[in-house]
């Protein structure tokens, strides 16, 4: 029996190839061509068999342990779904979109390989996410690594997945070349790689394929289709968005110098445009996104719990060691620098800090407070933006006061991404029009919270509960400071 020390990180079974039978990874073009999955959003979805090989790897299975909505789970008990099923759903929609365009416009010459790459790009687009959804990214940025992104990490994890599971031969059996792999990575990244000005995986005549999984131009893509439908279903929030109408009423046109081309040549850049009658459906998409940010993603309690988790991660930073390759260890904030170390980071980091003394007592105490619902105290919120000097005036009253900012929009700040969308009419498919959508003002709200909910020694011990008289007196004093501050600056505070 092997004994595991309390401060010993669990071993990663994917680290060593010794003694592992990898015959199940062998693949040839004569094997079963598709795999059917039973999904709550897309019943009986079907994926190419090579997608199944990718799914059955440690790198992809890791997504089972990453909540899609991160810490929102502590507000909505049903927000228990994971990035695993979202990636499968996105893969299905990406392939379906490509097939729909091929059926409606055979002249586009969309090949089976193009569609296979769409399946794989959609499947692997979230491989690089860390624990607690986007909160981990915020943590890494806050401790000095502003250029870290989960999109770039997804590209590195894809390489790690292919190399670590001997899938290169499986890709070759499907006639996937190095250029196709570059195309898959560009689909995931949504931009040209390595600072290139143009995409290299596909010629300009197929640039429209890059707008299917991650559409930087209009924000209309299958990643958004799946996560909104899945999140709404899990949280029992109504939505009227119908992705099938979008697929059926999409069309590809060639554009040069702002004008539609009569014929699409290899060097003709292409984009996806939409039938004018579905403008309301596209509005439904962005209104659903806005609503979910308000009700769930940026719910005030979600934001408070994210703040507490960030504090816990920062407190754990000097203590938490993640083993990587070649015997090296990494901090939580630098584990992304080594794919082997990053592989070990899932939502279980919470338990390792809370129960196994991986992050020191201060970090553990913060998470214990969270579990006991002893959260940072909400003192009100205000809309709009204030001068820093005004904020500093309140924070100067007590170091425990925090401002947590929330920005809710259509995905493009104060702009409406629908104004970037081009529409066509059925009778004149090559005459493109824009619709004048109102620019939806960004809703900026700032939550005021009081984080010192206890008397803490320097190491975080000596926790005192809410019934502590000294704390209660201090909290009442802080509330008076906030009230006086808001009245002085004529700030209207809300308490819901």
Q: Where are the alpha helices (DSSP H) in 376-495?
A: 388-395, 469-488
Q: How many CB atoms lie within 10 A of CB 449?
A: 22
Q: Which residues pair with 101 in a beta bridge?
A: none
Question: Which of the 8 DSSP states describes residue 297?
Answer: I
Determine the Cα–Cα distance for residues 368 and 353; give it in Å rounded to an integer.
10
Tokens of 118: 């769409």
B/e letters for 334-363, b = 16+ CB within 10 Å, e = fewer, are bbbebbbbbbbbbbebbebbbebebbbbbb
How far apart CA 398 and CA 49 sit, in angstroms, is: 59
Residue 50: how many other CB atoms lie within 10 Å: 24
Report how far residue 293's alpha carbon sits from residue 495's, in angstroms, rounded to the nearest whole number.
18
CB proximity list for 186: less than 8 A, separation 6 or greater: 192, 193, 199, 200, 201, 202, 210
Which of 452, 444, 437 shows the shortest CA–CA distance to 395? 452
Measure the CA–CA gap between 11 and 480, rounded to whole angstroms.
Answer: 52
Contact of 344 with 325, CB cutoff 8 Å:
no
Helix 178-189 and helix 150-164: axis angle, to 10°? 150
Decide if 55 contacts 88 (C-beta within 8 A). yes
Active site annotation includes 150: yes
Within 165-238, residue ranges assigned H as helices are: 168-173, 178-189, 222-235
DSSP state of 11: P
12-23 as b/e: b if 16+ CB within 10 A: bebeeeeeeeee
Candidates 167, 203, 166, 164; CA nearest to 182 is 203
R_g over Cα of the chain: 25
Q: Of the listed 42, 81, 150, 293, which one is catalytic?
A: 150
Per the CB < 8 A criterion, the answer to whether 90 and 152 are in contact is no
What does the buried/exposed string (b/e) look like for 232-252 if buried means 16 or more CB atoms within 10 Å of the residue's CB?
bebbeeebebebebbbebbbb
List active site positions: 150
């Amino acid at each position: 029996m092997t004994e595991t020390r309390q401060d010993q990180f669990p071993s990663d079974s994917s680290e060593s190839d010794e003694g592992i039978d990898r015959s199940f990874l062998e693949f040839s073009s004569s094997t079963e061509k598709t795999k059917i999955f039973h999904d709550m959003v897309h019943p009986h979805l079907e994926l190419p068999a090579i997608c199944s090989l990718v799914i059955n790897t440690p790198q992809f299975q890791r997504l089972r342990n990453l909540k899609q909505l991160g810490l929102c789970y502590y507000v909505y008990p049903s927000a228990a779904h994971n990035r695993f099923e979202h990636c499968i759903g996105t893969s299905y929609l990406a392939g379906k979109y490509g097939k729909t365009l091929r059926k409606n416009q055979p002249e586009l010459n969309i090949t089976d390989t193009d569609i296979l790459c769409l399946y794989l790009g959609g499947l692997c687009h979230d491989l690089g996410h860390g624990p607690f959804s986007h909160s981990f990214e915020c943590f890494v940025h806050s401790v000095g690594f502003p250029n870290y992104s989960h999109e770039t990490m997804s590209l590195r994890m894809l390489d790690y997945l292919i190399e670590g599971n001997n899938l290169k031969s499986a890709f070759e059996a499907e006639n996937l070349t190095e250029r196709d792999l570059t195309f898959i990575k560009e689909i995931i990244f949504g931009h040209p790689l390595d600072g290139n000005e143009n995409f290299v995986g596909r010629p300009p005549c197929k640039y429209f394929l890059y707008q299917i999984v991650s559409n930087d131009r209009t924000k209309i893509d299958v990643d958004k289709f799946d996560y909104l439908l899945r999140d709404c279903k899990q949280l029992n929030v109504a939505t009227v968005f119908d992705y099938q109408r979008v697929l059926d009423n999409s069309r590809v046109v060639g554009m040069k110098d702002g004008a539609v081309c009569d014929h699409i040549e290899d060097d003709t850049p292409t984009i996806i445009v939409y039938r004018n009658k579905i403008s309301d459906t596209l509005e439904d998409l962005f209104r659903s996104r806005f609503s979910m940010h308000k009700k769930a993603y940026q719910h005030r309690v979600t934001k408070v719990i994210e703040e507490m988790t960030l504090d816990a991660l920062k407190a754990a930073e000097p203590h938490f060691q993640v083993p990587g390759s070649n015997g090296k260890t990494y901090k939580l904030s630098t584990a992304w620098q080594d794919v082997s170390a990053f592989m070990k980071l899932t939502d279980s980091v919470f338990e390792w800090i809370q129960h196994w003394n991986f992050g020191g007592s201060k970090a553990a105490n913060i998470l214990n407070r969270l579990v006991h619902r002893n959260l940072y105290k909400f003192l009100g919120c205000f809309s709009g933006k204030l001068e820093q000097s005004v904020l500093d005036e309140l924070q100067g009253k007590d170091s425990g006061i925090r401002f947590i900012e929330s920005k809710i929009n259509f995905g493009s700040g104060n702009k409406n991404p629908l104004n970037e969308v081009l529409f066509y009419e059925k009778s004149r498919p090559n005459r493109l029009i824009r619709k004048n959508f109102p620019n939806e003002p960004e809703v900026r709200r700032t939550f005021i919270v009081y984080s010192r909910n206890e008397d803490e020694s320097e190491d975080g011990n000596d926790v005192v509960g809410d019934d502590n008289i000294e704390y209660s007196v201090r909290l009442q004093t802080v509330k008076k400071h906030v009230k006086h501050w808001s009245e002085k600056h004529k700030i209207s505070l809300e308490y819901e």
